[in-house]
A and B are shown apart, each in its own frame.
Chain A
């Protein structure tokens, strides 16, 4: 892998909407604390799947708001 891919990579609008909905539904019925934990689990699962420290660190930079950097 060569660096973090930030170009659209998950298909059509419909597919994006579908994924978005699943990410929202992931939190159905959860308290804020539980929700936060679920987000964290998802990040860890995906990070392990990516398995490339450099890409993950680029993603961390990309996610962090500029003002707070």
Chain B
């Protein structure tokens, strides 16, 4: 039996006994609070790098909730690096194209392609239920003897210290204990206990709108695309969204407005008319109905000494744009290698400050985009309503208006043009990937460039086989891969373990590579 009633269960795991501490405190180098997608991915990243990690999960099961379904190419690349991309791809529904409809018209007013650059390993997006992703991450974690997940262990007290944090934990078997961590990573979600206990801020904006999610099961043929409607006949004056998920599950999302009875809205007799109005007289079964509202907010800082926030605990966005969990995976990707270097004594603690900067850059871009989408979806005044409708009306006939249509700007990798870890270009570049941007995938040998990059610093070169600095792997590239990086003969790019370019040269200079590496590890050049 699940330890917390009222939350549907995907997979029972069962409570972990409290550790026998003999009255003293239990210790771990890294403690992660929360075993949602972000906590599990964090544990997997640090665990694969060989660190001792304890994960505390309030639940003793994986929840079966209607949460994330859209996982971006960038997240798939990260899951690949963590060794769990393949099961996600095998299970998920791949899609690249989104179509936006308006009113009763059968033709879209706007459409977009999430993978404009082809010849990459992964598609623009897959749809897959969040609990599958959590399961794959957990499978990865379970293979690591150095990572321990404690199920049914809830944090109820936190003391932040100069050399770490002290947690008060209560286990389902009644055990209560103290856990001392050198580093604490709070991945405990939107209502973060750690954030609250430390009295930290979480500022932002609440949007006055409700959305109904009807996850239903049915046999239905439709291309694997994201379909979005403004003002459709089946939800007049509002919007709707349809996504295909694995297992013949479909997500139908209906905008409801602000003044509604939320409990009534999810009763089957109230949901079913929506479904039938949208799809006609189809046969379907209820998977899960829920209503959500949303907020866009973030903490002022994500790093508080040795306590670090990642995922929903640090930032929240509206779902339009699929930037929540995808944004959380970006945090993991950014923090993993940095904390690894600090734990191994190969970088100064100050490197963690660059996580604060870069993760906030990501969060701000996500919040900006999802706020703008929400403002387009739910105009706040008669004038903004008129402007929105003007865009849709013009988009039907004129290409120039289509870029204004905003049904959600879907998550892509965020760039860090101002990152202090990057060495700015000193030469002129007319193509390629600038410092602070992620490497563009391309075929490489028998496989793919991103797979070859792996978890370490890499020096990508074209036509140069000298020696890379210690701890840096040299990979020679050619063809499309080199072209996409803008590298000519003798050119090179230094790539961070999260696959972001740190520096690049038309003509490689080993001394400059050393300096750029030092800088990318947080030491000034």
Partner of A37, one of B389, B401, B404: B389
With contact pairs A44-B401, A48-B400 given, residues A33 and B386 touching in the complex (Cβ less than 8 Å): yes
CA distance A39 to B382 in the complex (A): 12
A45 contacts chain B at the CB level, 8 A cutoff: yes
Mark contacts of A29-56 with chain B using CB atoms, 8 A cut-off: 1 yes-contact digit, 0 otherwise.
0000100111111011100100000000
Task: Assess whether A40 is in contact with B390, with CB atoms less than 8 Å apart.
Answer: yes
Q: How many residues of B contact A (CB 8 A)?
A: 14
Is the contact region of chain A dominated by helix, strand, or loop, or is it mixed? helix
Partner of B394, one of A33, A36, A44: A44
Task: Assess whether B383 is in contact with A44, with CB atoms less than 8 Å apart.
Answer: no
B346 contacts chain A at the CB level, 8 A cutoff: no
B211 shortest CB reach to chain A, Å: 25
Task: Assess whether B386 is in contact with A45, with CB atoms less than 8 Å apart.
Answer: no
Q: List A contacts of B383 (CB < 8 A).
A: 36, 40
Q: List A contacts of B389 (CB < 8 A).
A: 37, 40
B66 shortest CB reach to chain A, Å: 35
Partner of A45, one of B385, B387, B394: B394
Q: List A contacts of B393 (CB < 8 A).
A: 37, 41
A11 shortest CB reach to chain B, Å: 27
Task: Assess whether A37 is in contact with B394, with CB atoms less than 8 Å apart.
Answer: no
Complex: chain A residue closest to B403, CB-CB:
A48
Partner of A40, one of B387, B398, B400: B387
Task: Assess whether A40 is in contact with B386, with CB atoms less than 8 Å apart.
Answer: yes
Q: Which A1-45 residues have C-beta < 8 A from chain B?
A: 33, 36-41, 43-45
Q: Which B217-273 residues have C-beta < 8 A from chain A?
A: none
Task: Assess whether A44 is in contact with B386, with CB atoms less than 8 Å apart.
Answer: no
Q: List A contacts of B394 (CB < 8 A).
A: 41, 44-45
B32 contacts chain A at the CB level, 8 A cutoff: no
Task: Assess whether B400 is in contact with A37, with CB atoms less than 8 Å apart.
Answer: no
A22 shortest CB reach to chain B, Å: 18
Mark contacts of B170-209 with chain A using CB atoms, 8 A cut-off: 1 yes-contact digit, 0 otherwise.
0000000000000000000000000000000000000000
CA distance A39 to B389 in the complex (A): 11
CA distance A40 to B398 in the complex (A): 15
Task: Assess whether B390 is in contact with A41, with CB atoms less than 8 Å apart.
Answer: yes
B212 contacts chain A at the CB level, 8 A cutoff: no
CA distance A39 to B400 in the complex (A): 17
Complex: chain A residue closest to B404, CB-CB:
A44
Give chain A's interface residues, CB within 8 Å of chain B: 33, 36-41, 43-45, 48
